[in-house]
Chains A and B, each alone.
Chain A
Amino acid sequence: MDKENDILKWFEGELSFQELQNKYPGEDFSTLEKAAFYSKQIQVPTLDAQKALDTFKARNLKKETPKVIPLNFKNFLRIAAVLVVLLSSSYFLFFNTTSSFSTAIAQTETLTLPDNSEVILNAKSKISFNKKEWKKTRNLNLEGEAFFKVTKGNKFTVNTEEGTIEVLGTQFNVKQRPDYFEVHCYEGSVRVSTQSKDVILTPGKSIRVIRGQVGIIENFNLKNPSWLARESSFDKVPLWQVIKELEVQYDISINASSVDNTQLFSGTFTHSDKNIALQSVTIPLKLSFKIDGKKVEFYNHGSN
């Protein structure tokens, strides 16, 4: 092994032939020595490098250019669209537990909430609430008018644009129409929070907010909201609000531009006969009306 290594060293020039010979005096290295000498004489073909380069350039050379794959936005959008559909549909399938109910013009509907509380929706109204959360927090959103009979339990909250109503277990009516907000308490007690005021209503009391103006607490002596008996009752309510209510109950549009629609109206109109209802509003105010299909015009007596 040592000898082999030394021979290798000799061939690498690390060890001279003489040194090797001295180290292994009994060995004959002459063959290797001759081989080492003559093998150097083996001829390798010498090349004309420049000529070879020219031949090389004549080859059909093509550089491998890195492929550029353009970011394809169409594909992105495609994938994004699929994801959006998947996510939103699964959201609606698994997470959206919001229930909502609404009524159209001239329609009322009685609903029972998960805790057996009862809601009666007046015409053109909508409530929505989270079914899943209902056990923890009785919280619902209301647009329009509704009468609530709340069973006893934890806090029951009605959110409207104008304010929130909190109760424990009572009967109360909430009327929320554009620029008009009114709460009647029929049983128990009701806390009404508007942007500017917090009041607690006891049975027989009501509060009204017209165009952001909070009115005083007033008394009333009805057992149930009149609209449950298919009537609308008003107590010193501006005419424009009465007109709104007529429009909601009868699917008509009323033009009262020639009359003073801020005058106050106290009275009742029925939900079952349009003519009688219009008369019961106009006659006390000394107004007349004309019906033209779905359009109704109010005007002062005598004129026209």
Chain B
Amino acid sequence: MSSPKHKLCEEVHFNSFYLEHLQSASNFAYYKGGDRDASLDYVQDAFQKIWENCSKIDPAKAKTYLFTTINNLFLNLVRHQKVVMAYAKASPYRDQTNLNPEYLMEEEEFKEKLRLAIEDLSPEQREVFLLNRIEDKKYREIAELLDISQKTVEKRMSAALKIIREKIDQVNF
């Protein structure tokens, strides 16, 4: 009977853990840092930490460990470069039947403002906002992932929404 603690040390288990969480970890790093290329590096670094410390990590907590490690890697960095977000190509407009050029232009304009507003959020606010939006995560799940309280998640989310709303409406004037 091998102790479950060392499950991560076995290559098979580690690989499946890696494949399962790579994408979401990379997304998370991207939400936080907004840097396409760098985010994968952070994630790889974090996985390496897990591999190296596999005997000390409770497999049940490995996911949280992964995300908090990524978080910490960011903390160690000097506040990073410019955050660059982008929309997926061929993303539909809200009213797909309305092909009025004026409407399309308005929507493009809105999207641009939104993008800038998101880029301007603090990493903490952005990660919460995008985890909720893009991954449809509940605040409780986000809290668990980041090892913070749900209250904190909600505060960050509220702040993020407030900033986004202000920025978009302000520019509208």
Complex Cα gap A172–B30 (Å): 106
Instruction: Let me know if A43 and B88 touch, CB within 8 A.
Output: yes
List, in ascending order, chain A residues with CB within 8 A of B138's CB: 12
Q: Which of B31, B40, B114 contacts A47 (CB 8 A)?
A: B40
Q: Which of A7, A38, A42, A43 contacts B158 (CB 8 A)?
A: A7
Instruction: Let me know if A47 and B133 touch, CB within 8 A.
Output: no
User: Helix, strand, loop or mixed for chain B's interface?
Assistant: helix
B94 at the interface (CB under 8 A from A): yes
Instruction: Let me know if A45 and B158 touch, CB within 8 A.
Output: no
A35 at the interface (CB under 8 A from B): yes
Interface centre among B9, B22, B85, B115 (most CB of A within 10 A): B22
Instruction: Let me know if A38 and B111 touch, CB within 8 A.
Output: yes
List, in ascending order, chain A residues with CB within 8 A of B132's CB: 11-12
Q: How large is the interface on B (under 10, 10 to 19, 20 to 34, 35 or more residues)?
A: 35 or more
Instruction: Let me know if B48 and A39 touch, CB within 8 A.
Output: no
Instruction: Let me know if A55 and B44 touch, CB within 8 A.
Output: yes
B169 at the interface (CB under 8 A from A): yes
Complex Cα gap A39–B18 (Å): 27
Known A39-B118, A49-B19, A63-B54; judge A44-B30 contact (CB<8 A). Answer: yes
Q: How far is the CB of A141 from chain B (nearest CB, A)?
A: 62
Q: How far is the CB of B149 from chain A (nearest CB, A)?
A: 14
Q: How far is the CB of A21 from chain B (nearest CB, A)?
A: 15
Instruction: Let me know if B9 and A39 touch, CB within 8 A.
Output: no
Residues 220-246 of A contacting B (Cβ, < 8 Å): none
Instruction: Let me know if A35 and B88 touch, CB within 8 A.
Output: no
Chain A, 99-124, contact with B by CB distance < 8 Å: what is the 0/1 string? 00000000000000000000000000
B39 at the interface (CB under 8 A from A): yes
Instruction: Let me know if B157 and A11 touch, CB within 8 A.
Output: yes
A46 at the interface (CB under 8 A from B): yes
A37 at the interface (CB under 8 A from B): yes
Per CB-CB distance, the 10 closest pairs between chain A and chain B, nearest first, are: A43-B88, A41-B91, A39-B133, A44-B27, A49-B22, A41-B87, A64-B52, A49-B19, A45-B36, A38-B111
Residues of B participating in the A interface, judged by any CB pair closer than 8 Å = 9, 15, 18-19, 22-23, 26-27, 30-31, 36, 39-40, 43-44, 47-48, 51-55, 85-89, 91, 94, 107, 110-111, 114-115, 117-118, 129-130, 132-134, 136, 138-139, 154, 157-158, 161, 164-165, 168-169
